[in-house]
Amino acid sequence: MLLEPTLWPALVAEFPFEWHYVRSIIYVSLYVSLVAVTLSTLFSLPVALLVGFKEFPGKGLVTSLINTGMGFPSVVVGLVVLFGVSNQGPLGELNLVFTREAMIMSQFVLATPVVTGVSLAAVSSVEQNVRDAAFAMGGTRADVALVTIKEARYGIATAVLAGFGRAISEVGSVLIVGGNIVGPDGHSKTRTLTTAIQLEARQGQFETAMILGAVLVVLVLVVNAVVVRLGSGNGGRY
């Protein structure tokens, strides 16, 4: 019944938000999470390769820190980042309180242990003889690292998805450092889908919260599908 075209205008008419408002919170959610996870991946892959294949003093401690970070309470991360960017903090001069950049920082801190930990498991599972083959054929250290990443691409795709899932579903820390702000023009400044859902639910607007929740789930599904598609190539790009 709901799919009958004659009902669509009625549904749109009853939609409880302005479209530009919804679009802006989707944009902020995606922008903050994708930038944070991209930065996190760029940071995590070299760390995973280093920890996975280099012997150095304190390697066990680093591994433990990564594993601990995977379960780190997000509210604490938000508090620490808020202190860091506040007037009293080391980054106070940058005026990042209640900005998207501060939200990216907190999501980066939350996603990085997840991306690093899962990537570490993925690259560690690449067989030594495959790495030896790349070296034996004249590969440099960078070539061997590239082969390792290509061989571990399914696991790394999982790591990126796990990091993205952690970032986009985050409420506590982005609420603390972002402030859940909508501008006077009705566009989101630092409001994300999760903080909007939290706000609507608190105000008893369960229907609108559910609609935003559905939008969030669809977004996560789409991003997952894209990453899985990218990660499941035939490995032809060595």
Please say which residue, 97 or 122, places its beta carbon nearer to another protein: 122
Please say which residue, 72 or 135, places its beta carbon nearer to another protein: 135
Concatenated DSSP letters of 163-186: HHHHHHT--HHHHHHH---B-TTS
DSSP character at residue 4: -
Please say which residue, 140 or 203, places its beta carbon nearer to another protein: 140
Concatenated DSSP letters of 193-219: HHHHHHHHHHTT-HHHHHHHHHHHHHH
Question: Six-digit token pair at 4?
Answer: 């009958």
Please say which residue, 101 or 143, places its beta carbon nearer to another protein: 143
Distance, in Å, from the CA atom of 234 to the CA atom of 216, rounded to the nearest integer, reads 30
Q: What residues form DSSP beta bridges with 188?
A: 182
Which helix (H) or strand (E) is 38 found in, with range? helix 19-53
Please say which residue, 28 or 157, places its beta carbon nearer to another protein: 157
Shortest reach from residue 55's CB to another protein, in Å: 14
Q: Tokens 């669509």 belong to which residue?
A: 8
Contact residues for another protein, defined by CB under 8 A: 127, 129-130, 132-140, 143, 147, 150-151, 234-238
Shortest reach from residue 49's CB to another protein, in Å: 17
Distance, in Å, from the CA atom of 52 to the CA atom of 209, rounded to the nearest integer, reads 43
Specify the amino acid at residue 102: A
